[in-house]
Structure 1
Amino acid sequence: MTEIVDLTEYADHGRAGFYADPYPVYEKLRARGPVHHVRTPGPGPAEELWLIVGHEAARAAFTDPRLAKTPPWDMTDDLIGPHLLFADPPEHGRLRSLVTREFTPGRVAALAPRIQKITDELLDEMVPRGSADLIASLAFPLPFVVICELLGVPDIDRDRFRRMSTQVVAPTSDEEAYAAHVEIAGFLDELIEDKRCAAPADDLLSALIRTTAEDGDRLSPAELRGMAFLLLVAGHETTVNLIGNGVRALLDHPDQLAALRADMTLIDGAVEEMLRYDGPVETTTHRFAVEPIEIGGTVIPAGDPVLIAIGDADRDPDRFPDPDRFDIRRAPRGHLAFGHGIHFCLGAPLARLEGRIALRSLLDRCPDLALDGEPDGWLPGLLMRGVRTLRVRW
C-alpha cells in the first residue's frame, strides 16, 4: 500500500509555512520519485490525490491521454457550465476552436496601448502616496480592468468581484467557494442575456455569442457561461500573481533588479524567469486516471484525481541548472507555467503583455522601489501561488 504524504506535516512547518515556500517539500518528494499519494493542506476537508513532480514526468503527464480532464461524475448540475478546463478531445478541440476564432493574437496585440494607459492611470494614483499595497493598487486592477473591457463587462464592484474570484481559485472554505460560484453564475447569466438583447458590439463576449463555425456549430448558453467564467476569472487571477510574484522576486534579488533597470531589453526574459521561478499557478486543476496508470513504478488507480506540480517541474535541476537561483538572463524556454499540450493557456500572450507593460512602467516610475514589510496572506490551496497583500514603498 502506498504511503499517504500529508503535505503540511511533511513540510515540517505547518500549513502557513508550506504556502509561503512549498519548494523544499516538492524537492524532497521529487528525490523519492515522480508520483506521490498526498493529502492536500486544505482549505476545508483534506483531499487525498496523486501528485506528479519533476519536469520530465510533468511534461509527459500533460499529454497523457490516460489522464482525462472530464470528471468521472455527472456534471449536468454544474453551476458554471462546460469549459476548456473540464473538456477532453474531441469536445475540447471544438470548444477551443470556437473561442480562438475570436480570441486572436491580433486582438490581444491591439490591446497594448490601452493596457499602457490603464497602467499609467493606476500609477498616477499610486505613486504620489509613496507606499502602497501593490496587489490592490496595480497587480489586481490592471488585469481586471483589461479582461472586463476585453469581454465587454460593464463597470462592476471591483471589491465584490475580487472576493468572488478569489474564493473560486483559492477558497477559504467549501461553503464560501460554492457561494462564490452561485454568485458568479448568476452574474454571467444576466450579462450574457443583456448582450444577446443589445445591439451588436465588438467586445469578445459579444463575438463569442455570434461566432459560428463553418458547419454551423456555436456555443450553447451553458458553454457561453462556462467560457465567460474561464476567461473572466482565469484571465485576470493568473496575471495578478504574475505581477505580484514577479515584483517580489526582483526585490528579493537586488542584483537582478539592477540588471533589469540598467537594460530594459531584458524585460521579456525577466518575465519568463518570473514565470519559471515563482509562477502564478502552483499545480494544475484536476485530471482523472481513466485506467490504472504506472509512472515511475507507482500505479495510480483508475478514477483517482491527479495534480501536476507545475511549480516543482520548473525548479527541477535536471531541466534548469541551479533552479533555485533567480536569473533574468536564463534561457527561458521549456518552463511549464502556462501548461503544455492541448491545454496550453489560451491567455498566455495577454498575460505576458500585461506583465511586461506593468513591470516596465512600475520600475520607470518608482526608481527606488522596495519591500515595505513581509508579504502577507498567502493564498491557500495548491492551485494559485501568490499573496493577498504586498506592501511596497519608494
Structure 2
Amino acid sequence: MTDQAVPAADLYTDEFAVDPYPAFAKMRTDSPVCPVTSPRFDSFLITRFDDAKAALTDPRLSKDLYGPGQHFLRIFGPNSEGLNKNMLNSDPPEHSRLRQITSRAFAPRRLEALRPRVAQIVAELVDRIVPRGEADLMRDFAIPLPMMVIGELLGIPTRDRERVLDWTQVIRESGSSGRPPAVEKAAVQEAQAWLHGYLTDLVTAKRAEPGDDMVSMLIAACDEEGVLSERELVSTTFLLLFAGHQTTADFMGNAMVALLTNPDQLDLLRKTPELLPHAIEELLRFDGPLPVASPRIATEDLEYQGVRIPEGSIVGVVINSANHDPEHFEDPDRLDLRRDRGPHLGFGHGVHYCLGVSLARMEAQLGIGALLRRLPGLRLAKPAEELRRLPAASPFRGLIELPVRFSA
C-alpha cells in the first residue's frame, strides 16, 4: 500500500475513459485510499466496498461545500454557487429540510400517475427511429427521454426544452470538444449563467401562474410556508433538472452498450423480459453513470485503511470501484442479469441516497424494454472501444454517441 499521491493525468487517460475497471482493481489492491493530485484540487479516492459504504454515512465527511473554506471555489469555480446551493451540497439539518420539501415531488402516487406519459414519450421516440434502420441512441433516445420527462415534471414549457437541453449538454460534454481549455471554461460559465437566468425567469413565471408541477410546488414552499429561500428555490430547480436527466441518460447508454457487448445476456433479456427490473440493478452495478459520488470534505483529520486524510481534504467515494469489489460480488467484472441482487451503491447510501430512484428505474425499464422489443437485430455500428465518450476526468461516465443498426 502506498500513500504517495497519483497525478490525475496518470489515472484519467483515454484508456481509462473506455474501461476504468482495471485501474479500479489495481487501486483496490495497491492503494484502496488513493491520494490524487490535479491542477484544480487534490483529493483522496476511496475504492473498496466496505470503506465506500462507511464513508457515505461518515458524519466527519461533510457535503456542505459552501461553509467555512468555500470549497466550492476549488471544485466548481466561482460561478457555481447560484446553481449548487442545494440539498446535494448540504448536511443535516439543512439537508433534511431541503430533502423533505423536494421529496413531495417524488411521492409514489405522483410518479405512478406519470407512468402512462413516460410510456407515451418512449413510444414516440422509438416511432421516429424504427423506419430508419439506424440511430444514435444517445442523441435520438437516451438524452431526450429523461429531459422530456423532467421537463414535464418541472413545468418547463415545451417550446423551451430543446434550448434547455442544449445548454445542459454544454456542461455535460465539457472537456470533450477539443477546444482550448480557456474556451471550454468560458462556454461552461456561459451555460451556467444562461441556465441560472432561465430558471430564475421560470420561477417568476410560475409564481404569476402556478400549475401542477414541481416548480410551483417549490414556490409554495418558499412563499407560503417560508421553508425555502429564493436562492435555494432556483438551485433546487437546477438540481432536479440536471440530476433528473443527466444520470438517467448516461445510465441507459451504458446499459445498452453492456447488453450489446454481452450477447448472451441480451438474448436472455429478450427471451425473459420479466427479468428487466432485476436486470436494471445489475446493469447499474456493472457500469453506473456516476463513477465517483459528489465530493465530500473532511471536517477533521481521519483515517481509512491506515491512510491519514487531513482536515479540509476533498474525498471522493468511487462507487463504480466499490460495485466491482470481489469481496462483495462474485466475478464482479462479468455481467450477470440473474445475479443475486446485492447491496450495490449505484444509487448511493445513507441520507443522500438518490431521491429520484423510482423515476430513474421507471424510465430505464420502459426505455430499455421498448428498444429491445421494437428494434430487432439491434447491434453496435462501431466497436465499443471506438465510441466517443465523456472525458475520463468528467464526474459522469457516459457516451457522447451510440450509433446502432437494426432491422427496419
What's the TM-score, normalizing by structure 1?
0.93
With 18-27 and 66-75 compared, the bigger mean Cα shift is at 66-75
Query: Superposition pairs for residues 64-103 of structure 1, below 5 Å?
Result: 64-71=58-65, 72-74=68-70, 78-80=81-83, 82-103=85-106
Give yes or no for contact 1:103–1:204 (8 Å, CA) kept in 2.
no
Whether 1:254 and 2:263 are equivalent positions in the alignment is yes
Residue of structure 1 in register with 2:388 after alignment? 377
Give yes or no for contact 1:98–1:213 (8 Å, CA) kept in 2.
no
Deviations along 1:201-253, whole A, 9 cap, x unmatched? 11111112113799x44211111101100000110001101111111100000
Query: Superposition pairs for residues 145-160 of structure 1, below 5 Å?
Result: 145-156=148-159, 160=163
Whether 1:313 and 2:322 are equivalent positions in the alignment is yes
Amino acid at match of 2:326: P
SS at match of 2:15: helix
SS at match of 1:331: coil
Q: Judging changes above 3 Å, is the alpha-carbon distance between structure 1 residues 289 and 174 closer, same or farther for their aligned structure 2 residues?
A: farther
Query: Superposition pairs for residues 209-224 of structure 1, below 5 Å?
Result: 209-211=219-221, 216-224=225-233
Residue of structure 2 in register with 1:60 after alignment? 54
Residue of structure 2 in register with 1:295 after alignment? 304
Find the aligned partners of 1:55 and 1:116 in 2 and give their Cα distance: 35
Find the aligned partners of 2:11 and 2:362 in 1 and give their Cα distance: 38
Residue among 123, 126, 131 paired with 1:123 = 126
Whether 1:328 and 2:337 are equivalent positions in the alignment is yes
Deviation at 1:109, TM superposition (A): 1.4
Deviation at 1:159, TM superposition (A): 5.2
Structure 1: runs of 5 or more not aligned: none
SS at match of 2:158: coil
Deviation at 1:3, TM superposition (A): 1.1
Residue of structure 2 in register with 1:204 after alignment? 214
Residue among 44, 50, 54 paired with 2:44 = 50
Deviations along 1:6-40, whole A, 9 cap, x unmatched? 244257xxx22111111111110110242111135
Deviations along 1:43-91, whole A, 9 cap, x unmatched? xx45321111011110000000000011243479722252111110110
Deviations along 1:151-187, whole A, 9 cap, x unmatched? 1001245554334223434522433332221111011
With 291-300 and 331-340 compared, the bigger mean Cα shift is at 331-340
SS at match of 1:175: helix
Structure 2: runs of 5 or more not aligned: 73-77, 176-183
Residue of structure 1 in register with 2:179 after alignment? none
What's the TM-score, normalizing by structure 2?
0.90
Whether 1:386 and 2:394 are equivalent positions in the alignment is no
SS at match of 1:111: helix
SS at match of 1:110: helix
Residue of structure 1 in register with 2:178 after alignment? none
Residue of structure 2 in register with 1:24 after alignment? 22
Give yes or no for contact 1:123–1:362 (8 Å, CA) kept in 2.
yes
Find the aligned partners of 1:66 and 1:176 in 2 and give their Cα distance: 35
SS at match of 2:82: coil
Q: Judging changes above 3 Å, is the alpha-carbon distance between structure 1 residues 282 and 10 closer, same or farther for their aligned structure 2 residues?
A: closer
SS at match of 2:91: coil
Deviation at 1:302, TM superposition (A): 0.5
Find the aligned partners of 1:383 and 1:265 in 2 and give their Cα distance: 33
Give yes or no for contact 1:170–1:384 (8 Å, CA) kept in 2.
no
With 73-82 and 287-296 compared, the bigger mean Cα shift is at 73-82
Find the aligned partners of 2:345 and 2:267 in 1 and give their Cα distance: 27
Amino acid at match of 2:7: D
Give yes or no for contact 1:139–1:243 (8 Å, CA) kept in 2.
yes
Residue of structure 2 in register with 1:3 after alignment? 4
Greater than 4 Å deviation, 4+ residue runs: 74-77, 156-159
Q: How high is the sequence identity, in percent, across the aligned residues?
A: 42
Find the aligned partners of 1:259 and 1:388 in 2 and give their Cα distance: 27
SS at match of 2:50: helix
Give yes or no for contact 2:84–2:239 (8 Å, CA) kept in 1.
no
How many residues were matched structurally?
A: 385
Find the aligned partners of 2:222 and 2:155 in 1 and give their Cα distance: 19
Amino acid at match of 1:356: Q
With 320-329 and 330-339 compared, the bigger mean Cα shift is at 330-339
Q: Judging changes above 3 Å, is the alpha-carbon distance between structure 1 residues 292 and 61 closer, same or farther for their aligned structure 2 residues?
A: same
Deviations along 1:246-298, whole A, 9 cap, x unmatched? 11100000000111111111101111111000011111111100001111100
Whether 1:181 and 2:188 are equivalent positions in the alignment is no
Give yes or no for contact 2:148–2:161 (8 Å, CA) kept in 1.
no
Find the aligned partners of 2:241 and 2:359 in 1 and give their Cα distance: 13
Find the aligned partners of 2:18 and 2:35 in 1 and give their Cα distance: 22
